[in-house]
């Protein structure tokens, strides 16, 4: 069981956003893209028992950690983790079928992966979400070309030093990407430590 300090800090505030925005009264299906250690999915699954959670990862060590969390918590609403490369089309997303998910969750991946992952996330979410389904992303973002405060400017710089393909993405860019994939930004929630939750809703067909 790997443990990430950031996941431990942000799992409760993100759960609060989920509880406010997800129906707890009927069976739902959720896909977590880039689950990391498995801390988030097992935390969310304990509070949202009506949701069947599908964790996924790209990193083999993380996949093993998610399985260790599943074994530890024995939750009947967390499926075995699947290998999922967010940069690939949804047809390669471990058998996740189109329009089967009520919720797609993605935490702290967008700025720590190449742009192809962000593009793949929005394209894939547009495909696998049911009409009116929700994509929740969490992390630090730029707003209208501005990164604030100074600590996020420095974080962005350090990410780009580590990998020129990484870095904070602009919310207006994400909105345009969402729109191309049948999603729209419904809500933006300020979170602790200068992060945000972005909630994108899939357009209904009618
Ligand atoms: C900072 S970690 C966040 C993990 C977890 N969501 C959390 O908040 O603890 C970034 C994650 O992005 C994942 N990642 C990198 N490239 C990816 C890809 N092509 N497809 C899916 N996930 C990817 C990494 O494996 C890693 O788990």
Minimal-distance CA residue to ligand 1 atom 19: 85
At 205 the pLDDT is 65
- For ligand 1, is residue 32 a contact (CB within 6 Å)? no
Ligand 1 atom closest to the CA of 32, numbered from 1: 6
- For ligand 1, is residue 87 a contact (CB within 6 Å)? yes
Task: Answer whether the bond into residue 149 is a cis peptide, omega within 30°.
Answer: yes
Q: Is the pTM of this model over 0.95?
A: yes
Measured between its terminal Cα atoms, the distance across the chain in Å is 45
Those residues with Cβ within 8 angstroms of residue 35's Cβ, 6 or more apart along the chain or in another chain = 41, 55, 56, 57, 62, 66, 81
Q: Where are the alpha helices (DSSP H) in the chain?
A: 5-21, 39-47, 60-73, 115-128, 150-162, 171-180
Q: How far apart are CA 196 and CA 40, in angstroms?
A: 16
Q: Where are the domains of the chain?
A: 5-140+169-202
Q: How far apart are CA 183 and CA 136, in angstroms?
A: 11
Q: How far is CA 81 from CA 51, 67, 133, 161, 188, in A?
A: 15, 7, 21, 31, 28
Q: What is the pLDDT of residues 166-178, one digit of tens each?
A: 999 999 999 999 9
List strands edge to edge, sheet with 51-54.
Answer: 51-54, 28-32, 101-107, 129-139, 195-202, 183-191
- For ligand 1, is residue 36 a contact (CB within 6 Å)? yes
CATH of domain 5-140+169-202: 3.40.50.150
Tens digit of pLDDT per residue, the chain (206 long)?
999 999 999 999 999 999 999 999 999 999 999 999 999 999 999 999 999 999 999 999 999 999 999 999 999 999 999 999 999 999 999 999 999 999 999 999 999 999 999 999 999 999 999 999 999 999 999 999 999 999 999 999 999 999 999 999 999 999 999 999 999 999 999 999 999 999 999 997 64
């Amino acid at each position: 069981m790997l443990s990430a300090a950031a996941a431990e800090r942000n799992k409760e505030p993100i759960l609060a956003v989920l509880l406010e925005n997800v129906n707890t009264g009927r069976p739902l299906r959720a896909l977590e893209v880039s689950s990391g250690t498995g801390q988030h999915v097992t935390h969310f699954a304990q509070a949202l028992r009506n949701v069947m959670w599908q964790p996924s990862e790209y990193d083999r060590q993380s996949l093993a950690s998610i399985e260790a969390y599943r074994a530890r918590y024995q939750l009947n609403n967390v499926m075995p983790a699947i290998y999922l490369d967010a940069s690939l089309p949804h047809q390669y997303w471990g058998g996740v079928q189109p329009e089967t998910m009520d919720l797609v969750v993605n935490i702290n991946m967008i700025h720590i992966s190449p742009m192809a992952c962000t593009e793949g996330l929005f394209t894939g979410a547009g495909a696998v979400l049911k009409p009116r389904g929700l994509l929740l992303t969490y992390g630090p973002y730029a707003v209208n070309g501005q990164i604030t405060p100074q600590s996020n400017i420095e974080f962005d710089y350090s990410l780009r030093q580590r990998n020129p393909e990484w870095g904070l993405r602009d919310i207006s860019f994400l909105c345009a990407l969402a729109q191309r994939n049948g999603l729209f930004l419904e809500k933006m929630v300020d979170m602790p430590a200068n992060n945000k939750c972005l909630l994108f809703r899939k357009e209904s067909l009618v």
